[in-house]
Structure 1
């Protein structure tokens, strides 16, 4: 994680400087327009136009990146944003400032998209959530610090406008001077607003109201403060309290959202925010600055939390494959609210005075609360344990779609290094030379060995097994990564390659097989087989690992995905994988078959009946005359066919008892599955299960009586 953040240092520095400039601009413009005696409604209109530009930028940013290039687009947009704020210093004209505000919004949206794609490429599935959190901290800290820059000069002059332009221009330098190249940007198809509204009405409405209240609060707050004589450093402190509240309150709200019904949490915080907001006006009238600032921080913090809550609420109702498309729609709803927010609020403030800001915000939040109550009666709440986790999302910047840990992760395909490209080209004409080159590079530069081996393995005509043997001999300490790279290139040779590894490095087989099985699911059964063949004593460990992997995949299927047409098919495939896993390992090491089955059931309790049925089928095959005779010949204590049958029946009973301990709620299903395959052991099964628990005996008898005739011995 530390290395990832260090590699992104230039981007975070650029982001900090850029948001420092934006923080200054956001407080400077409303203050300056107040000094120019512009009407409150005019101020609101100018500030609203920022979100018009942001909406346009969100729609066209990816197209501009593909056309002009990642870094050039980033530099060009921030340079244009700097020009826009400098133009504002030349003339105090509402129309001109409105046009420049649109331009700044457009440029910021493009810059956010560029930073998002950069961060996404540099992060992994495991650390992308932490990268997102660090990015949000950088943005909010810079916005907070930017509020205090207004005290460096008079807002009535041009110095602060020039300083804002300098900061925006300076933010270009770290990224332009970075060694990293810009990543590829893929097109994201947005879901229609109407389609999302049908799936999650509350999520869309919350996102719209979030844009309205957030833009109104943070844009019109300087105007509100000016009406109570809060200027200069006090204004910076007051605005800083609002921004700090937006950061701090995401932690307790997120905690509550993950542990209680999300709609109930949303309703409570909306009521709390409205009541605290009403108190701000009262405290301001009493000239109580610090209590007023704290109350403002609380209500503005809750307003900032509505946006991530709306995303979580929408995700609760969406299939994972729909999340990326839905995010574009949610951003559209937020931007539409942002366009309406400052202007509608300014009209209210113009009619009823500046003190009506928090009254207006409170009424809007209470109306949203009424809609929340309606949705609580209209749709049953999702169980808390199945809700999507709350993820911190700052409304000041564009949503980080690819960094959201709830979004389906897609591995970024990085371009091959020059050495790998040369090796692949040589392999086309001279495969033997390419194998020698791969060996030489792996010895001299071990960190590139896996990449080159994988590149060479993809070329037609290459003897992949020979390549693997050479690499195995040359760099045995790198063989785990090399094996994974070659198997990824040639999955059909996975079993043979890992089998070769088992001959020379058996101690590494289990770890390598587990990694390949994790990254290439279709090879799991083959990897389990080769791991058990290489280390038979590890059969239970291998079964335990793969059972837990399959259990995690099954548990990770979201409620909305379970309603998908393909869910039943994928569920059947998963059941088949589990059944085949037990059967395969049991055949390889029959003496550990029972332990393997128990481990699988411990990981996936509701698969107990399926596992029991598979195991019982194997026991049934052992009852042939040949197997009975083999038991008599090999086991000293067994001398007659009756004793052999009794031993097998006892094994079945022991199996049911052990499986029932692993999955107590499935006891009857386990016993029923075994008796169905082995009807002759029904009496022993009932006796074993009914010891001390007569109700179980009765249920078992009823269960067996319900089975088709001929299936039981009763």
Structure 2
């Protein structure tokens, strides 16, 4: 781990600053929108726009990189991000913010594709798993730190919009100055959705439902906090708790998943997350809301990795990377709809609609996992693919990178099995 940190610290620092900038702008808009008098449904459109742009960027960024190269794409998209962040308070209008969120989502997706491909290129076969783990830690640290930065200024002013713009601009320096040769960029042709559904219906349905649950957390948590009457400090702690829960639970759940029927674990984690949503719906005190956020974040984020790993159980190693494209697309479709549906429910029934929507999706996933357990036998634990840790906010590069690591693990396990000779 220290070897990876020593060789790629500049890249990781730049990526951390990017995550701080991105995590801050989402929360800040939720708070500022309430101060500007935007309706809950208007804010849901604004928040949904980010995921529309992100999905578009994940599809188009690879072609942009092939045409003009990593450095130009990174610099151009990063400049747009900085510009839009500064323009938000100057054009306090929900439709202007919606356009800005589409642009920012598209640009962040392209920036992540570029930076992650550099980081993946810097890793070797021996340390790829450790590099992926470090990257996930950096993502979580960046998002959690962003919630602390929110307390450094007045959300009704300009300074909190300038800070993420500066952080994104500064992030270019460690990334661009640390790059040795520009890596060759290759993207895998995605598996069709029909083929992917045939391989694993649970994974397809699960990542779609999870996209809605995650985008509701990422996009609407600050809107919920403002509507529920939480203070700025309480909103900051509340949102950070989702990601702290995800960080704490990711690796224990991964360890368990390699030792039992993953469908059962998907069902259990979905139920626990759904119970967390019920707690959030039932309580109004700060401690209860933090417990709810910890359970929902701690269960829903690792579910993405569980669903990808479960699909891998039925794939040949050479097909894992191509399957990830379809999974990302389905997750993105769910993410686009998540804030809009959440905003509508919150408009009808108040802040509790935030928890109701997330709880319904997680319980629906648990029910479908239980149904799928009646349709076919689980693969043996010995034949299961290794757990693939990855964040739902990752670009296609990071997901394929995680899949590459899973393939390497599968191949090394197969070689180790072939080397074992039976006792005479």
Give the TM-score taking structure 2 as reference length.
Answer: 0.95
Aligned equivalent of 2:292: 295
> How big is the alpha-carbon RMSD for the aligned residues of Structure 1 and Structure 2?
2.0
Aligned equivalent of 2:55: 55
Q: After the TM superposition, which of the residue ranges 397-406 and 329-338 deviates more from structure 2?
A: 397-406
Structure 1 residue 396 corresponds to structure 2 residue 393: yes
Map 1:688-703 onto structure 2 (within 5 A): none
Aligned equivalent of 1:133: 133
Map 1:37-436 onto structure 2 (within 5 A): 37-284=37-284, 287=285, 289-399=286-396, 400=398, 401-408=400-407
1:59-112: CA deviations, max 9, x gaps?
Answer: 111111122221221122111111111121211111111111011111111111
1:125/1:405 contact within 8 Å kept? no
1:273/1:298 contact within 8 Å kept? yes
Distance 1:239-1:254 versus aligned 2 partners, 3 A rule = same
Distance 1:4-1:254 versus aligned 2 partners, 3 A rule = closer
Distance 1:103-1:77 versus aligned 2 partners, 3 A rule = same
2:320/2:403 contact within 8 Å kept? no
1:119/1:403 contact within 8 Å kept? no
1:249/1:298 contact within 8 Å kept? no
Distance 1:99-1:70 versus aligned 2 partners, 3 A rule = same
2:321/2:404 contact within 8 Å kept? no
In structure 1, what is the Cα distance between the partners aligned to 2:378 and 2:414? 24
In structure 2, what is the Cα distance between the partners aligned to 1:550 and 1:126? 11
Deviation for aligned residue 1:49: 1.0
1:187-231: CA deviations, max 9, x gaps?
Answer: 321111111011111111111111110001221111222233212
In structure 1, what is the Cα distance between the partners aligned to 2:402 and 2:220? 31
In structure 2, what is the Cα distance between the partners aligned to 1:551 and 1:141? 32
SS of equivalent residue, structure 1 residue 245: helix
1:287-314: CA deviations, max 9, x gaps?
Answer: 2x12321221111221112211110111
In structure 2, what is the Cα distance between the partners aligned to 1:322 and 1:551? 18
In structure 2, what is the Cα distance between the partners aligned to 1:225 and 1:167? 25
Give unpaired runs (5+ residues) of structure 2: none
Deviation for aligned residue 1:36: 1.3
SS of equivalent residue, structure 1 residue 89: coil
SS of equivalent residue, structure 2 residue 88: helix
1:390-438: CA deviations, max 9, x gaps?
Answer: 22211122251124454445xxxxxxxxxxxxxxxxxxxxxxxxxxxxx
Deviation for aligned residue 1:163: 1.4
Map 1:408-487 onto structure 2 (within 5 A): 408=407
2:276/2:291 contact within 8 Å kept? no
1:129/1:404 contact within 8 Å kept? no
Deviation for aligned residue 1:177: 2.2
In structure 2, what is the Cα distance between the partners aligned to 1:332 and 1:200? 15
SS of equivalent residue, structure 2 residue 228: coil
Distance 1:315-1:407 versus aligned 2 partners, 3 A rule = same
In structure 1, what is the Cα distance between the partners aligned to 2:355 and 2:63? 39
1:458-487: CA deviations, max 9, x gaps?
Answer: xxxxxxxxxxxxxxxxxxxxxxxxxxxxxx
Distance 1:550-1:278 versus aligned 2 partners, 3 A rule = closer
In structure 2, what is the Cα distance between the partners aligned to 1:343 and 1:550? 44
Give the TM-score taking structure 1 as reference length.
Answer: 0.57
In structure 2, what is the Cα distance between the partners aligned to 1:77 and 1:389? 35
Deviation for aligned residue 1:181: 2.8
In structure 1, what is the Cα distance between the partners aligned to 2:412 and 2:296? 44
Q: How many residues align?
A: 421
In structure 1, what is the Cα distance between the partners aligned to 2:347 and 2:317? 45
SS of equivalent residue, structure 1 residue 402: helix
